[in-house]
Structure 1
Amino acid sequence: MARHVPWPGHHVTVNMLWICVGLLAALFPVVVPQETQEPISYSCTEGYEYDSVREQCKDIDECALLDDACKGGMQCINHFGGYLCLPKSAVIVISKEGEEMPPREPAAPVPAVPPSQPQRPARVFPGGRVSQTGRMTVRCSAGFVADEQNVCRDVDECATGRYTCGPEQTCFNTRGSYSCQCPAGYQRNRDQCVDANECDTQNPCQHHCYNLIGSFLCQCDQGHELAPDLVSCQDINECSFSSYMCQYQCINSPGSYSCECPEGYQLQGNRLCQDVNECETGTHNCQDDEMCWNYYGGFRCYPRNPCEAPYTQSSENRCICRSQTECQGLPPSIVYKYMSIQAERPVPADIFQIQATSTYVNTQNNFRIKAGNEAGDFFLRRSSNVSAMLVLTKPLSGPREYVVDLEMITHHLIMNYHSSSLLRLTIIVGAYAF
């Protein structure tokens, strides 16, 4: 049975003793003298078998004899008296008898052999060479070197300084070799690093690219800004900057924005909203017997003749009572007025002035809010003997209509009697503060 020489971890240990014994046995077979008259018998060393034709011991080819001599993807290499299991990537060099292989590394010194013992010739085994000491040395490919266990290891040229990179280049070790790389933003031109124009070769920017020495700069179109990756562009939401971008509503769009106004308003300039006077433009639906009154954001239709019995119309917006019997306890006249204000108006605010149309000597006038101020939204301040100012005391929300009766009481000092006149003021509050 042939001996199997293992290859653990790519390490080969060959017992040269039994190889030499087998070699001597092959060269000097044991022969029984002829005078014995007994049958001649021969005995070969393990790993050899007797060749009766040549009358000598010959090597047994275990690799051809055994189907599974080597496992794990290893290749079987037959040699005298045994076989080797080597990786399939191992370099196999076989020399002819008498030839010497040029050593890749300095050969180990061969110890002296006593004269009484014949010197063993050096023999090259597959995958490397074997010195006369019997130690096998693996031959490695370029960029590799054998370690103490005869395993080919990669040479780190960058760590050992065995590279030719320029001073501005960086050495990167690779399996069996190395590479020289330029800094980011540069590219190799023969042995030098030159600026790489990323704008021409890569076009990395979404909008505009500007080349710099060793780098590049991206810029975006108006209304856009650079994303965190510094190459992509994202829309700027101008509406998020401030609530003053638009008076009413800001509409963002890719690269820009626009302002919109509510119904009843039109855009003035870029951000302001201006009331549309439907009464002047004719875009109202009031009837012929109605009067159109415009207010902030809309319009209202009021009767052209607001007088109700027992009052009759004497002039536009003025109603008088001609029957003292029917009008007893009622003001002799009522004047109808209309006004519009914006919502949420700052207070206090003077909004309407009442003034006597006729003045008399020896009279004193007093003013008061007779009706329509249940919530205390207004205050009437006397300005003089013939006038008073209606003051807004609270911000009002709209759209809403307020009807406030303002009364002027006249006291005749000589004749000692009182008279009054009423102004019915309709206040229309718009829906917005503009």
Structure 2
Amino acid sequence: MSKQDGSNRLVSGPEVDDTTASILHVDLDAFFASASLLARPDLAGKPVVIGHDSSRSVVTAATYEARKYGVHSAMPMARAMRLCPNAIILDPDFPLYSRLSKQVMGLLDDTSPDVERLGIDEAFVGIAGLRRLAGGANRIGPELRARITAETGLVASIGAASTKYVAKLASSRAKPDGLLVVPDDQVIPFLHPQPVSALWGVGPAQQERLARYGLHTIGDVANTAPDRLRSWFGDATGRHLADLSWGRDPRAVEEREHEKSFGHNHTFFRDVTDPVEQQGEILRLATGVGRRLRDAGVQARTVTITVRFHDFRTITRSRTLPEATDVTRVIVETAWALLEQLGQLPPVRLLGVRASSVQGAADHGLLWDDTATWGSAERAMDAVHDRFGAATVVPASMLRRERKREDTGPSGGD
């Protein structure tokens, strides 16, 4: 999630020349928060933070109203509440996010054959071949944004340019709920006043290094000799900075079939020593992973658990299956076995389950004789959840865990 709060929003009108804008970057605004508000329209316009109501949790997402207080993703929940004491906290709903993301990506696929998914809430769309039939960015962008809102209730911002880098930067400046087209002859005026943090790949540490050399804006980088940049930051990074500062980015839109891994973590409200409670949390996390695999139409061969102890020491354990799977029961049993192999554990602060070595879905083999039956049953449960809500049908052991949660208080964040 971006830290963008809309204060420097910049949009373009239909009169802007879009003939060179061959790439769109489509980014759903405050996606997790906006998706959660679809079920809570009464909270629209209020500072809402997605995460678990615990000082040990972290922020998953925040509405623009909360971002104006400085709240952003990955921030400790305790700090977020200090910055925005009137924030309303909602638990994340990952099955909902996955379903809405799949629906939006389907709309992008309907728009163009060239779609490169960057994550659950953003993608590049190549439109170079669509101009004759569908028009350019000034027509495709508004129509796509309107369709996303009409069919999902979500809001998207779109940047359009001739390169992926400028298109992505343009979408961030158009937030919230905007379209910004940057013609080729406006790329340099658009880029050079921006802070160096807008350079793709420049994080806080690199930003500090640039500042030590007096480089605070993209224009400062552009006006520095390339050989000096290479001597300061190394050949690869120096060339990267020089190219981006002049808007050079030769990468084409490339279709990505699916994410490389699917996982969830959970930080407990209090350190947990009870093996039954640890198994219950593994069940909950693995259920979410299985659902995301099925929604994406993929299967995974490797299951990994993450265990973080009270002293923040963290270990991982993995197992590669003979055959790929998207069946929750298989993922749960594998994760349970990995946890059991660790033996008696010190107090546990965090548990995580991840499925990786992802491939396209295929017919189930004979790894578990009843795998196909369980897979069919789980897909039936998915359909019930989509129609009536995630809490309608759940495993009995998970229901017991949710009741226990009500007795012990809130939990930490995914």
TM-score band, normalised by shorter chain: under 0.3
Q: TM-score, normalised by structure 1?
A: 0.14
Pick 1 or 2: higher relative contact order, CA cutoff 8 A, min separation 6.
2
**Which of the pair has more CA radius of gyration?**
1
Higher strand fraction (1 or 2):
1
Higher helix fraction (1 or 2):
2
Q: TM-score, normalised by structure 2?
A: 0.15
